[in-house]
Amino acid sequence: LLVSRDYKSEDTIIKVKNTVIGGSAHTLIAGPCSVESREQLETVASTLKKMGLTIMRGGAFKPRTSPYSFQGLGEKGLKMMKEVADSHDLVTISEIMSPNQIDVAEPYIDIFQIGARNMQNFDLLKAVGEAKKPVLLKRGLSATLEEFIFAAEYILHYGNDQVMLMERGIRTFETETRNTLDISAVPILKLKTHLPVLVDVTHSAGRKDILLPCAKAALAAGADGIMVETHPDPETALSDKDQQLNMKEFQAFWDGMVDSGLYR
Ligand code: PEP
Ligand code: MN
């Protein structure tokens, strides 16, 4: 396989503007679940900037379980995100759910996110394979690592080798967490592929009181980076309000990562 270590032994390093993902430095991707307003993004962006972080996430096309839940601001949200990110010199990442959203999102975002629910949307995988921007591919809710690896292979096969993998928890019988963080996925994906491997602690936990230990475990297991959701006022968030860190909690999370000595 093109993604395999056998095919290419060196780690893939992804460069976006001045930001590097993979290789010797860790990455922390943070931002709100959904893009909601300019003020919201402004607060998050200035906090990231102050911490020396460079990648802001935010969903504008939202894959919601219920059709009655907030579906995202769409192109308007992406435009807002780009304007705020540009003014703070940040890189943006946002989810697209269908091939036709690639052209819509392309002018505004630096990294395409493919969400867990679309890990096996093969037309989407082919389309981002033909696109010219890096892709963050999330593991499906019930996907085996083999299926995950084949999904990434689609993107490389169609021409795009700027792919990073993200473990985001899988469905199990456990109910204390929203999903079960599969820590062993990290070393397995690192052994089998040359792609950067990141861990989304927010969507795996589905709660915010265990994010730091989960992030430390991910780094100790060899992850190249972490994704975490943060919102200026989580109680009023239009999605994932129980699991987003407010700015103070986010600062404590970041301090904890740095203090652990695991984040380099
Ligand atoms: C997200 O990161 O915004 C998201 C919806 O996550 P997932 O696809 O992992 O559920
Ligand atoms: Mn979310």
pLDDT tens-digit series, residues 138-154: 999 999 999 999 999 99
Mean pLDDT of the chain: 98
pLDDT tens-digit series, residues 19-60: 999 999 999 999 999 999 999 999 999 999 999 999 999 999
Q: How many residues does the chain have?
A: 264
Token pair of 23, please?
């290789």
Is 66 contained in some domain? no
ipTM of the prediction greater than 0.85, yes or no: yes
Q: Does ligand 1 have an atom closer than 6 angstroms to the CB of 116? A: yes
Span 124-146, mean pLDDT? 98
pLDDT band at 185, cuts 50/70/90? very high
Q: Which amino acid is at 10?
A: E
Tell which one of 117, 121, 203, 243 to mutate to probe ligand 1, the residue whose CB is within 8 A of the most ligand atoms.
Answer: 203
Is 264 contained in some domain? no
pLDDT of residue 253: 98
Q: Does ligand 1 have an atom closer than 6 angstroms to the CB of 59? A: yes
pLDDT of residue 220: 98
Instruction: Give me the numbers of helices (H) and strands (E) for the chain, helices first please.
Output: 9, 10
Contacts by residues 169-176 (CB-CB < 8 Å, ≥ 24 positions apart): 169/200, 169/203, 169/204, 169/205, 169/206, 170/139, 170/141, 170/142, 170/143, 171/141, 171/142
pLDDT tens-digit series, residues 82-106: 999 999 999 999 999 999 999 999 9
Q: Does ligand 1 have an atom closer than 6 angstroms to the CB of 95? A: yes
pLDDT band at 168, cuts 50/70/90? very high
| Three-state DSSP class for residue 16 | strand
Is 80 contained in some domain? yes
**By residue range, what is the domain housing residue 190?**
14-60+72-256
Question: Of 36, 38, 113, 53, which Cα lies nearest the Cα of 89?
Answer: 53
Spacing of C-alpha 204 from chain mean position = 12
Is 214 contained in some domain? yes
CB atoms within 10 A of CB 9: 8
pLDDT tens-digit series, residues 232-262: 999 999 999 999 999 999 999 999 999 999 9
Which residues have their alpha-adjacent CB atom under 5 A from ion ligand 2?
33, 240
Is 245 contained in some domain? yes
Question: The domain spanning residue 138 has which CATH number?
Answer: 3.20.20.70
Total structural domains within the chain = 1
For the chain, where are the alpha helices, taking DSSP H only? 38-51, 75-87, 100-105, 122-130, 145-157, 185-192, 201-205, 211-220, 247-260
Is 1 contained in some domain? no
Tell which one of 136, 137, 168 to mutate to probe ligand 1, the residue whose CB is within 8 A of the most ligand atoms.
Answer: 168
pLDDT of residue 121: 98
pLDDT of residue 97: 98
- What separation in angstroms does the CA of 85 have from each of 37, 42, 44, 57, 222? 13, 8, 10, 10, 29
Is 5 contained in some domain? no
Alpha-carbon distance of 5 to 191, in angstroms, equals: 7
Is 67 contained in some domain? no
